[in-house]
Structure 1
Amino acid sequence: MAVRERENAGKELQRRQGVVIEQANQSAHKQRVKGKLSARRRVDLLLDPGSFVELDALSRSGDSTGGQGQEHYGDGVITGYGAVDGRPVCVFSQDATFMGGSLGEVHARRILKVMDLALRTGRPIIGINDGAGARIQEGVVSQALYAEIFHRNVKASGVIPQISLIMGYCAGGAAYSPALTDFVVMVDQASHMFITGPDVVKAVTGEEIGVEELGGARTHSSVSGNAHYLAADEEEAIDYVKDLLSFLPDNNVSFPPEYPADALTDDSVESDAERRPGLDDIVPTSSTQPYDMRDVIEQVVDDIGLVEIQGSYAPNIVIGFSRVEGASVGIVASQPLHLAGCLDINASEKAARFVRTCNAFNIPVLTFVDVPGFLPGTDQEWTGIIRRGAKLIYAYAEATVPLVTVITRKAYGAGYDVLGSKHLGADVNLAWPGAEIAVMGAEGATDIVHRRKLASVRAEGGDVDAVREELRREYEDRLCNPYVAAERGYIDAVIQPSTTRSHVARALRMLRSKRDLTRTERGNMPL
């Protein structure tokens, strides 16, 4: 190449790069006016400074102006790779200022390319969604490429962590891709996700509903369960994604990062240094009085506390990530503050999905149990509690990661079975001295088992209440305690609550060498 041609080539590159920079500036200005971050700024906040390497920045479609009357590169999406806290990740970020962030052929192929890169290299992928859905001008091509994205989501499922940030609209078929990922984060009053919008809903059904109520962040955080976290603003949403990544491995054949903090200071489980005396009095003396299970969790895990997931959805069960001795653990816990900790359809599916996520990414599961059973009622029965509750059984039974369970109070009936029991394959099962492990509570059991005797006492004019109380205490002493289960090996140890952290930490430490010896064929979960 002649010197002049080389100079011209260099100038052409500079010109095109200049166009890209100007696009970015214009996009940032448009978003700033709306009080939102630009697609590129979101990537900058997510990744470590200077780590982002953009791919296909100079790509463009046949109609590269997007009807905006000037040359435009990127086709409304930014893709590439970088690092979060020094760990490699892949990312794409849709630009709503170009054709509404709609998905055209070049746009889609850029996303597919970076998803393929993430799969080949075994690194997490974060999708920042802010688009109007399929690009109408490109017809069936746009629809076809959405399906290819879904296919990639499924291929990556359980292989690499997939996290979706919803920063604006994610409508129509576009909404299915985040639903196929591991975690979805939305922003209050800014994120909207639905299959059919308010206008279509009204036209087809006559129902009038606003966009926020139909598919806003609060709706998906508390009603549908599609969102795993509700952030106050975009910066908080991005910070939450970084928190999630700190608990997750790069892929399914690696392990989560460990942090050199909060290791036990003494080898004795009875060490005063490791005791948490507040746990001895945390459960009320009355078995019907509620307490906050998160208070228990906070005293067992490291000082980082609990990073809760889906906190506003199915609040009768708590899930989230934490660490014990610096190593990641997934937490599943009954929540007596809501529905007395009963399991219902939503709680069962919420916990089952989380256990499976932990199992896919080599994260031990620590379960805290205070459950009176499954929630009764025709609504639950008719909407499928049998089949949908079975998902929780399946999730625990198929799990091969370390499973440690602590029963703090009630473990009645099927609730005892499904929440990490020894019978479903849990490795270490612990119970507090006041644990009530039985088919049902003493009050209900007394009335059922001794109904004839109580009827006879009533007919003879005797003191029914006194007799019932005597029979109730007899039931508690004989059956409703942790010792019957301990005698049969269903419980490995009955422990003082204040020593729970020590017992849990040592169990998890021992289980680090656990190996999967089960079958490798895929089962058929009752979806």
Structure 2
Amino acid sequence: MSIRADLLEVLARRALTEDAARPDAVERLHARGGRTARENIGELVDPGSLVEYGRFVTAAQQDKREVDDLLDRTVADGIVGGLATVDGHACAVLSYDYLVMAGTQGMRGHRKTDRLLHVVDRLALPTVFFAAGGGGRPGDTDIPLVSALDVTTFAAWARLSGRVPRIAVVDDNCFAGNAVVAGCADLVVATERASLGMGGPAMIAGGGLGDVAAAEVGPIDVMTANGVVDVAVASGEAVATARRLLGYFLGPVEEWEAPDQTALRDVVPEGERTAYDVLPVVETVCDEDSVTVLRPTFAPELLTALGRVEGRTVGVVANDTRHMAGAITAAAGDKAARFLQLCDSFGFPVLSFVDTPGMMVGPDAERTGLVRHTSRLLVAGAQLGVPLVGVVLRRGYGLGAQAMLGGSTHEPLMTLAWPGAHLGAMGLEGAVRLSMRRELEAIEDPEERERTVRELTAWAQEHSSALNVARHFEIDDVIDPAETRQVVARLLDAAARDGRLRGSGRPVDTW
């Protein structure tokens, strides 16, 4: 069958946009551990589902380069994007192309991005954006420019906050405007190859700040410790991780398995001074292999994670007593507040596992802006429209416990406690020493004084036991830990009836 000349021209031009048309460049990228834009997109989306926008665009540099050179070296103006499906669910995907001028942002590339983001907004599509690249490109000359500050891409991308879930993936250097794309996303996945910064080496040197290698601008260990990156993975796992995160936003899954719940009876130590890993609690209450921990090395005293209970996505916050005894620090307040905003915006019920001595205290802590940062958690909790279920595992003391429970033990849909838990206005021994200060000072013998403290603390523990707190109806129930998952699942069923479990759609802050 003969092919018309015009169709042949289209097919030939399309072939130039594929990776196969630039094998040497692809080989060099692979040699240093990179992947092409089309490889990333191909792994993310369902086969054959991509509907691409702007495939034939080239860089706006025709006044200084030949057309054949533009077709060969500025394919799609450095950004590939379109609509597709992931596991049958409609979504959008964009990827800067590191094979085209290091993934820099060209003026026509901005127009393509804006066009696609407009479609994303119209159709409310979850979006994955492969953000690596060198920032704005100053070499486009076909479009008259002075400042280029009228570019609308960043506002369009930021405006989608709360409207659609947005996941950014960074697997290479990601500077300036590309870093803004990552930073404005709801979740950021990055690899050991990533380096993120608001300015790359050229901008740093131009500002008189010295010569810095690209890899040293914002390496992955720095970006995980400061909370910029939500999930750090090996390079070959980035796309699969993005797909996993996207799945939390695509609705319930039908197939799930429940872990053995009896393990919960022994996971928390009896003594208050023994630290333990709270992640097994989270992983046991949630469906098998459904938990993804976010920002694990930023404010590790507070765990945040996404998971599922009977197939339904939930958000989890939990105190980790291995760090700062589980106290609420300034960083923990920011971390938890931002996570609650994310859950509220997209309709994820929240499970809060409480084991905290309260807010962090002391002059060093106050220098971190503790008052304002921890108050963020109270404000975010008070604004929650999604159900919050609180479970006091062992210690629920002071304002820290209240913050973990939305501001009060009666704010959650239900507040539960496990056997052995204690609740109080502050740590019990501290409360004894404070409330009985004069009486204790009157005891001259130090040994007798400390013995008195121990006796009074034991009495306070009895008085503040979960059963006694429940007897006064300050919490709703004390349960066998093995019942936790079942109770949570039934509460969420009640909350979700008739489609009432909806997100607020409010913007998610970037802290």
Match of 1:269 in 2: none
1:65 and 1:430 map into 2 onto residues whose CA distance is 70
Q: Does 1:32 align with 2:36?
A: no
The TM-score with structure 1 as length reference comes to: 0.87
Contact 1:103 1:142 in 2 (8 A): no
2:11 and 2:191 map into 1 onto residues whose CA distance is 37
Match of 1:124 in 2: 126
What is the percent sequence identity of the aligned residues? 28
Match of 1:219 in 2: 222
Secondary structure of the residue aligned to 2:40 is: helix
Unaligned runs of 5+ in 1: 250-255, 264-273
Q: Does 1:50 align with 2:45?
A: no
Change (3 A) 1:365 1:462: closer
Alignment of 1:97-496 (within 5 A): 97-138=99-140, 141=145, 144=148, 147-188=151-192, 190-197=193-200, 201=204, 211-222=214-225, 224-233=226-235, 235-249=236-250, 256-262=251-257, 276-421=261-406, 423=408, 425-458=411-444, 463-478=448-463, 480-496=464-480
Shift of 1:27: 4.2
Change (3 A) 1:494 1:421: farther
Letter in 1 for 2:282: I
Shift of 1:484: 4.7
Alignment of 1:58-97 (within 5 A): 58-63=56-61, 70-72=69-71, 73-97=75-99
Secondary structure of the residue aligned to 2:455 is: helix
Contact 1:80 1:92 in 2 (8 A): yes
Contact 1:105 1:145 in 2 (8 A): no
Choose between structure 1 and 2 for higher RCO, CA contacts under 8 A separated by at least 6 residues. 2
Change (3 A) 1:345 1:121: same
Range with greater deviation from structure 2 (346-355 or 7-16): 7-16
Contact 1:186 1:217 in 2 (8 A): yes
Change (3 A) 1:203 1:119: closer
Match of 1:17 in 2: 14
Unaligned runs of 5+ in 2: none
1:521 and 1:219 map into 2 onto residues whose CA distance is 31
2:508 and 2:123 map into 1 onto residues whose CA distance is 29
1:150 and 1:109 map into 2 onto residues whose CA distance is 12
Secondary structure of the residue aligned to 1:469 is: helix
Shift of 1:154: 2.5
Change (3 A) 1:526 1:392: farther
Q: Deviations over 1:251-286 (max 9, x none)?
A: xxxxx23323337xxxxxxxxxx9733222222222
Secondary structure of the residue aligned to 2:281 is: helix
Q: Deviations over 1:486-512 (max 9, x none)?
A: 244331111122222222222222221
Secondary structure of the residue aligned to 2:34 is: coil
Contact 2:51 2:84 in 1 (8 A): yes
1:112 and 1:409 map into 2 onto residues whose CA distance is 50
Contact 2:54 2:112 in 1 (8 A): yes
Q: Deviations over 1:79-106 (max 9, x none)?
A: 1111111111111111122122211111
Shift of 1:25: 4.0
Change (3 A) 1:11 1:332: same
Shift of 1:211: 4.1
2:44 and 2:34 map into 1 onto residues whose CA distance is 15
The TM-score with structure 2 as length reference comes to: 0.90
Match of 1:253 in 2: none
Change (3 A) 1:288 1:405: same
Range with greater deviation from structure 2 (283-292 or 461-470): 461-470
Change (3 A) 1:71 1:179: closer
Secondary structure of the residue aligned to 1:111 is: helix
1:66 and 1:325 map into 2 onto residues whose CA distance is 60
Change (3 A) 1:141 1:203: closer
2:247 and 2:424 map into 1 onto residues whose CA distance is 39
Q: Deviations over 1:28-75 (max 9, x none)?
A: 233123221111111111111121121111122332598587132411
